[in-house]
Amino acid sequence: MARRKIVAGNWKMNKTPTEAKALVAMLAPLVKSDDVDVVYCVPAIDIVPVVEAVKGTNVKVGAENISDKDSGAFTGEISGAMLKDAGVDYVIIGHSERRDYYKEDDAFLNRKVLKAFEYGLTPILCCGESLAQREAGVTIDWVRLQLKSDLIGVTAEQAASMVIAYEPIWAIGTGKVATTEQAQEVCHAIRELIAEIYDADTAEKIRIQYGGSVNGKSAPELFAQPDIDGGLIGGASLKEDFGKIVNYK
């Protein structure tokens, strides 16, 4: 059974609610697709207007973060229950910006992954190496270590339903796309790891994205790789080019 591709935009800290509605309207005719899942992962304050704006279309909405707690005195946090109730389906967990700037470690991210599942949200779990790690030849060891920790306690059934985004840190927002071979090699190693932790069936079902400066030009070759099931898109998700990425064929 062929896996369905999934193209998710990561808007990061961009777009006010008013601007978000305008972006959804601009992209609407460009992101129609029968065979690719399309997701907009948007800032918390844009979730409600974007859920409203994409109603009746093929686009699903994701959050960029989730609390590892259920509710209570956690100022500034957003819970799984809040996201689910607002109409969110996906949540990005472990983006390198959060790992780096906000010091989110694997034990914390593991709790967030489990919390997302508890509330019926699909994690888009990010992993990836720094330039120094790639140059030192430890990319695959590093990514395996990250994912092994992040997936503790996740069942095979849950793993089969989730998304992993392989994002080399040196390729994020830099305009430097990993070569097709580099991206495929790591996505394949991730699928092998999933088979090791779970089984072949789970590895066959889990969707693995590549992320890092993907644009309309680079998407077709990347997405044609056997282990790359779509992309997590930063900069280009805010532009018309996102439509080209969705309709990469």
**Shortest distance, CB of residue 195 to ligand PEP, whole angstroms?**
25
Q: What is the amino acid identity at position 35?
A: D
What is the C-alpha separation between 105 and 6, in angstroms, rounded?
26
By C-beta, is 170 or 198 nearer to ligand PEP? 170
Determine if residue 150 is left, alpha or beta; phi over 0 gives left, psi from -120 to 50 gives alpha, anything else beta. alpha
What is the C-alpha separation between 121 and 92, in angstroms, rounded?
10
The answer to whether residues 39 and 4 touch, using CB atoms and an 8 Å cutoff, is no
Confirm whether 188 is a catalytic residue: no
By C-beta, is 65 or 79 nearer to ligand PEP? 65
Reduced to 3 states, what is the DSSP secondary structure of residue 11?
coil
By C-beta, is 113 or 233 nearer to ligand PEP? 233
By C-beta, is 81 or 130 nearer to ligand PEP? 130
Residue with tokens 């532009």: 239
- Residues of this chain that interact with ligand PEP (CB under 6 A) are 10, 167, 172-173, 211-214, 232-236
DSSP conformation class of 15: -
**Shortest distance, CB of residue 213 to ligand PEP, whole angstroms?**
4
**Shortest distance, CB of residue 70 to ligand PEP, whole angstroms?**
27
Catalytic residue among 97, 104, 167, 221: 167
**Shortest distance, CB of residue 233 to ligand PEP, whole angstroms?**
5
Q: By beta-carbon distance, which residue lies closest to ligand PEP?
A: 234
Q: Which residues pair with 164 in a beta bridge?
A: 125, 208
Q: Please identify every residue annotated as catalytic.
A: 95, 167
